[in-house]
């Protein structure tokens, strides 16, 4: 065999641990217990719970990207989006939920980035589940205090003459960044524009590149 | 979103200078430590909501509280802030956490 692996195979290799090999944590137990109790009490069924989880899992940044592309192409739509993002998303058939989403627009003068220092508030119904780093203490504590250094680690350099504006959602609003439309995209249609818009562009840790 | 419409009286308006109370109550507090005692400007009125600090304990959160988006200058929040002097931070703050900036509280000085 190659790589010198020609000895009799008797020594153990470490297995990738199964989920049950990790410590079962307090909140995992709590989630299981509360879920089972609510089903036992008839508050909802197991199928309803599964459907609800599937609905959350089915959301993706593609929803937010559609909203962004439409706003780039239609100034009147952009106005409605900035005034009431939930209603503007509904125009495109996207259910953005009941929690108000505030869209913040990047311009020549302002670059926005979003975070939640207290927990992990995130516009899930437009962007899907948040990346792990968004929920990590490192991002939550550093993005408010040294946002330019954090953005540099994402490869995003914001010029000094552009105001960097961080939005910390603490409870009842969610934020989404409306990125700047890159140059050289005049001939692109809505779907092609949407394909340029990544999740991080709508968090504000990246800018859209053509 | 309606700027404080819906019959809810709002104590502050866009552009008002405000100071975040320097208080440390226990509980499900929605005002981050790093802005307590700091001055900012009301960026917008975000509407009114059942008080999340009460909802967290199974209470009804009424009366509803007005929520503001308050903008702070980064170089006033963080000593030695590395960035542009114009860099800012906007935080959602409930009305009961805000005083007019003119009425400087002794804790906030």
Q: What is the pLDDT of residues A80-94, one digit of tens each?
A: 999 999 999 999 999
Listed in sequence order, the DSSP H helices in chain B are 52-55, 74-77
Query: Does position A151 have pLDDT exceeding 70, yes or no?
Result: yes
CB pairs under 8 A between A and B: 80
| Average pLDDT value for chain B | 88
State whether A168 and B32 contact (CB < 8 Å): yes
Distances (CA, A) of A38 to A24, A41, B56: 21, 5, 19
Contacts of B71 in chain A (CB under 8 A): 165
Q: How far apart are CA A142 and CA A134, in angstroms?
A: 11
Contacts of B34 in chain A (CB under 8 A): 117, 144-145
From the list B84, B86, B92, the residue facing A169 with the nearest CB is B92
Query: Does position B33 have pLDDT exceeding 50, yes or no?
Result: yes
State whether A170 and B92 contact (CB < 8 Å): yes
Residue B103, pLDDT score: 52
Number of domains within chain B: 1
Closest CA to A68 of A207, A206, A203, A193: A193
From the list A83, A160, A170, the residue facing B32 with the nearest CB is A170
Residue B108, pLDDT score: 42
Contact B66, B51 (CB under 8 A): no
Contact A41, A104 (CB under 8 A): no
- The parent domain of residue B93 ranges over 5-108
Please list the residues that pair with A8 across neighbouring strands.
none
- Tell me what the mean pLDDT of segment A93-112 comes to: 96
The torsion region of residue B58 among left (phi > 0), alpha (psi -120 to 50) and beta comes to left
Residue A84, pLDDT score: 97
State whether B34 and A166 contact (CB < 8 Å): no
- Tell me what the mean pLDDT of segment B82-105 comes to: 90
Q: How far apart are CA B69 and CA B87, in angstroms?
A: 16
Contacts of A144 in chain B (CB under 8 A): 32, 34, 89
Query: Does position B9 have pLDDT exceeding 80, yes or no?
Result: no
Q: Strands, E, within chain A: which ranges? A: 101-105, 110-115, 163-168, 174-178
Q: What is the CATH number of the domain that holds B38?
A: 2.30.30.50
pLDDT in tens, A26-36: 999 999 999 99
ipTM over 0.90: no
Identify the band that residue B109 occupies on the pLDDT scale cut at 50, 70 and 90. Answer: very low
The residue annotated as part of the active site, out of A119, A141, A169, A201, is: A119
Active site residue A201: no
From the list A83, A148, A165, the residue facing B90 with the nearest CB is A165
- Tell me what the mean pLDDT of segment A183-210 comes to: 97
Closest CA to B34 of B79, B69, B82, B99: B79
- Tell me what the mean pLDDT of segment A55-65 comes to: 95
| Average pLDDT value for chain A | 94
Residue found by looking up tokens 């504006």 in the block: A165
Q: Give the strand pairing for B88-94 and A163-168.
A: parallel
Q: How far apart are CA A38 and CA A30, in angstroms?
A: 12
Contacts of B67 in chain A (CB under 8 A): 171-173
State whether A171 and B91 contact (CB < 8 Å): no
Is the sign of the CA dihedral A100, A133, A204, B87 positive or negative?
positive
- Tell me what the mean pLDDT of segment B29-35 comes to: 95
Residue A24, pLDDT score: 85
A202 CB neighbour count, 10 Å cutoff: 26
- Tell me what the mean pLDDT of segment B96-108 comes to: 72
Residue A18, pLDDT score: 87
From the list A83, A163, A170, the residue facing B91 with the nearest CB is A170
Active site residue A116: yes
The residue annotated as part of the active site, out of A115, A116, A169, A201, is: A116
Backbone angles phi, psi at A137, to 5 degrees: -60, -35
- Tell me what the mean pLDDT of segment A89-116 comes to: 97
**Choice among B9-13, B62-66, B79-83, B94-98 with the minimum mean pLDDT:** B9-13
Identify the band that residue A4 occupies on the pLDDT scale cut at 50, 70 and 90. Answer: low
- Interchain CB contact of A148 with B (< 8 Å): yes
Bond into A171 cis (ω within 30): no
- Interchain CB contact of A172 with B (< 8 Å): yes
The DSSP 8-state label assigned to residue A111 in this structure reads: E
Query: What would the two tokens of residue A198 be?
Result: 């990544």
Residue A93, pLDDT score: 97
- Interchain CB contact of A99 with B (< 8 Å): no
Contact A85, A101 (CB under 8 A): yes
Q: How far apart are CA B103 and CA B40, in angstroms?
A: 13
Q: What is the dihedral of CA A111, A116, A120, A124, to 10 degrees?
A: -40
pLDDT in tens, B36-59: 999 999 999 999 999 999 999 999
Identify the band that residue B1 occupies on the pLDDT scale cut at 50, 70 and 90. Answer: very low
- Tell me what the mean pLDDT of segment B66-79 comes to: 96
- Tell me what the mean pLDDT of segment A110-135 comes to: 96
């Amino acid at each position: 065999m190659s790589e010198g692996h020609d000895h009799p195979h008797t020594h153990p290799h470490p297995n990738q641990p199964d989920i049950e090999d990790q410590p079962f944590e307090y909140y995992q137990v709590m989630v299981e217990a509360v879920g089972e109790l609510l089903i036992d009490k008839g508050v909802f069924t197991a199928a309803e719970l599964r459907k609800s989880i599937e609905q959350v899992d089915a959301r993706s940044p593609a929803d937010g990207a559609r909203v962004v592309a439409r706003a780039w192409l239609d100034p009147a739509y952009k106005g409605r989006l900035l005034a009431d993002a939930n209603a503007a998303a509904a125009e495109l058939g996207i259910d953005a939920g009941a929690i108000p989403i505030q869209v913040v627009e990047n311009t020549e003068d302002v670059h926005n980035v979003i975070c939640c220092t207290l927990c992990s508030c995130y516009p899930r119904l437009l962007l899907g589940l948040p990346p792990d780093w968004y929920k990590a203490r490192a991002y939550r504590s550093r993005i408010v205090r040294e946002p330019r250094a954090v953005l540099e680690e994402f490869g995003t350099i914001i010029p000094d003459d552009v105001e960097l504006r961080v939005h910390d959602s603490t409870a009842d609003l969610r934020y989404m960044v409306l990125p700047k439309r890159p140059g050289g995209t005049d001939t692109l249609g809505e779907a092609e524009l949407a394909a340029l818009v990544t999740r991080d562009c709508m968090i504000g840790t990246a800018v859209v590149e053509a | 979103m309606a700027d404080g419409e819906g019959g809810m009286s709002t104590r502050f308006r866009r552009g008002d200078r405000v100071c975040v109370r320097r208080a440390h109550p226990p509980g499900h507090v929605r005002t981050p430590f790093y802005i307590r005692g700091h001055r900012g400007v009301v960026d917008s009125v975000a509407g009114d909501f059942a008080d999340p600090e009460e909802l967290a304990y199974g209470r009804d959160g009424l009366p509803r509280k007005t929520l503001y988006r308050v903008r702070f200058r980064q170089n006033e929040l963080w000593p030695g802030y590395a960035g542009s002097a114009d860099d800012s931070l906007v935080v959602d703050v409930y009305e009961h956490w805000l005083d007019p900036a003119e009425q400087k509280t002794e804790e906030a000085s």
